[in-house]
Amino acid sequence: MRERAVSLPALTEIAHRAVARAFEARALPKGGDGVPAFPFAVDATAGNGYDAVFLARQVGEGGLVAAFDVQEAALAATRDRLAAEGLLGRVRLVRSGHEHMERELARLFPALELRGKVTAIMFNLGFLPGSDKAVTTAAPTTVAALDAASRLLTYGGVLSAHVYTGHRGGMEEDRAVLAWSAALSPEEWRVLSLSQPNKARNLERLILAERLFPKGKGGAGRP
Ligand code: SAH
């Protein structure tokens, strides 16, 4: 039986829309020092590769995506999906925990100073569907990775974190991600939290955080 379509968008769709807007805004000619020569994005949890494909489209030809995962199965699925779309050339697959993203990016791209230059960073937390449910993201490493991501993001850049609580440690991870987002300075970040308040089990949450341009710099400043 086909499921009836619902009208409200899925959280994934909202995340993609928000990230796409960061790329649209960045595409406007701004000039100035420190503007990277090409768009760069990070997929912090490659999983089945849907976000890597999405980000590879967003960065465009000449742009780059780094996609992290600790599982070879996830990186293989992501590689296949990217190859099928002809997008593999835009993505570096990194078998490493996202909590090490700054170190790994410095190692992989020694010529690039990516701090404050990344347009979008996406997290899709939990376990890889159809695989080993014992391998999940976890609050301490997720929070370390979110901290790293917040340092990498450019002004106007968007970070998304899609939390799934349907695994052991999922509720703790949700609380940790929400607390992390709540601690971001409102002067520097615009933060949205979308969740399902009427769901007691397996609720999902989407945190969106945009790094705001500093006030008084006329929108031209960059980190
Ligand atoms: N719950 C989502 C999918 C999440 S996939 C859904 O239902 O669609 C999450 C991915 O994160 C998995 O592939 C897993 O291997 C990966 N992962 C777990 N810990 C990680 C870490 N420390 N760094 C990077 N990826 C990690």
Q: What are 22's two structure tokens? A: 């960061």
The pLDDT of residue 38 is: 86
Q: What pLDDT is recorded for position 202?
A: 92
Whole-angstrom Cα distance, residue 219 to residue 222? 8
Kind plus residue range of the DSSP H or E element containing 170: helix 170-182
Residue 127 Cα to ligand 1 midpoint, Å, equals 5
Distance CA(159)–CA(41), nearest Å, equals 10
Identify the band that residue 103 occupies on the pLDDT scale cut at 50, 70 and 90.
very high
Q: Taking residues 148-168, what's their average pLDDT?
A: 96
What local confidence, expressed as pLDDT, does residue 25 receive?
84
Share of the chain above pLDDT 90, in %: 82
18 CA → ligand 1 middle, Å:
21
Above 60 in pLDDT, residue 30?
no
Structure-token pair, residue 89: 């050339």
147-181 residues labelled b (16+ CB within 10 A) or e (exposed)? ebbbebbbbbbbbbbbbbbebeebeebbebbbebb
Q: Is the pLDDT of residue 218 over 70?
A: no
Torsions phi, psi for 29 (to 5 deg): -70, 120
Nearest atom in ligand 1 to the alpha carbon of residue 71 is: 15
| Pocket flag, ligand 1, residue 78 (CB < 6 Å) | no
Count the alpha carbons within 13 Å of 10 in the hemisphere toward its beta carbon.
Answer: 6
Ligand 1 binding pocket includes 73 (Cβ within 6 Å): no
- Rg (the chain; Cα; Å): 17
Which residue has the CA at smallest separation from atom 23 of ligand 1?
97
State pTM to two decimals. 0.93
